[in-house]
Amino acid sequence: MNACIRAVVRTGIFRGLEVYGINRGYEGMIEGDIKQMNSHSVSNIIQRGGTILKSARSSEFRTPEGRKKAYESLKALGIEGLIAIGGDGTFTGAKIFYEEYGIPTVGCPGTIDNDIYGTDFTIGFDTAVNTALAAIDKIRDTAAAHDRIFFVEVMGRDAGFIAVECGIGGGAEFVMVPETKTDLDAVVNTLKSHREFRSSSIIVVAEGDELGNANEIMAMVKTKVDNPAKDFKVTTLGHIQRGGAPTARDRVLGSRCGMGAVDGLIAGKAGCMSGVINNEIVYTTFADCIGKSKPIHPDHLALIEILNI
């Protein structure tokens, strides 16, 4: 998200605007934790993970009283437009705030899950996939050396984009995602068919799979495998996927979305998100971003089955 912040600040200054940074999201907006930013404010941040403006959940912003305080903080500084970086929760708050107070707001898609409608990719997704994939490559080494079956759990409570890309890129034998029903017997049959000519297997599990987490699924599979002595292991990658230096693709995507958000505000756009589809900046209403689902491409699901026979 730092690449996006940097692009917003420098595009705004380039276009002759004053730019302010709000620390800790809506909570900071309520408390008036707002500072003017210049070009130097965003120097040497594009390679850093996370966000220099920090992030925080705000239960108070969910109330009319909290949003009124936030509006008064903005009004006191003469702020005329907002750019919000985040996902469903951020955009839901932005949509309500815009409808109540009319401050033009444009969003930028910031979530590792890649589940926001209106953009091909979200800021942070590519970095998360590459971080998880590097871990899976290392797990494959020990799995092969010790003849083990590994269940690797990646993030994806409601969407399996990370799991699918890691499964394809990591050569997983099976991938489990929330979007499709997991056939446990198919998993067992895959492991049995591979046992004769493969010394190890990797199964990637999105945390939101309907059968449960990786530990629960491993226990179910283990009872169905002929050889109970087979060495099964679980690795939960967790929040390691949310940090680290961003990839080039994420830096460019964040920069483009940030510039698009500023230019969108100048052009009179509001209540929408700046995203990239087919390499073009597009604007999608918050209502669609929140209300419409983004499916995994069926070709990706087919690739997993085809490439790992």
Q: Give the active site residues.
A: 113
Distance CA 162, CA 165 (A): 5
DSSP 8-state class, residue 238: G
The label of the residue with tokens 């799991």 reads 163
Spatial strand order of the sheet with 105-109 comes to: 82-86, 105-109, 272-277, 280-285
Instruction: Return the percent helix, strand and coil in the chain, to nearest 5.
Output: 50, 15, 35
Distance CA 208, CA 180 (A): 11
Given a contact cutoff of 8 angstroms between Cβ atoms, the answer to whether 127 and 163 are in contact is: no
22: tokens are 């709000």
Given a contact cutoff of 8 angstroms between Cβ atoms, the answer to whether 274 and 86 are in contact is: no
End-to-end CA distance of the chain: 38
H or E segment to which residue 109 belongs: strand 105-109
Partners of residue 123 on adjacent β-strands:
110
Residues in the chain: 309
Query: CA of 300: how far to CAs of 120, 169, 201, 305, 306, in Å?
Result: 14, 11, 20, 9, 10
Partners of residue 20 on adjacent β-strands:
36
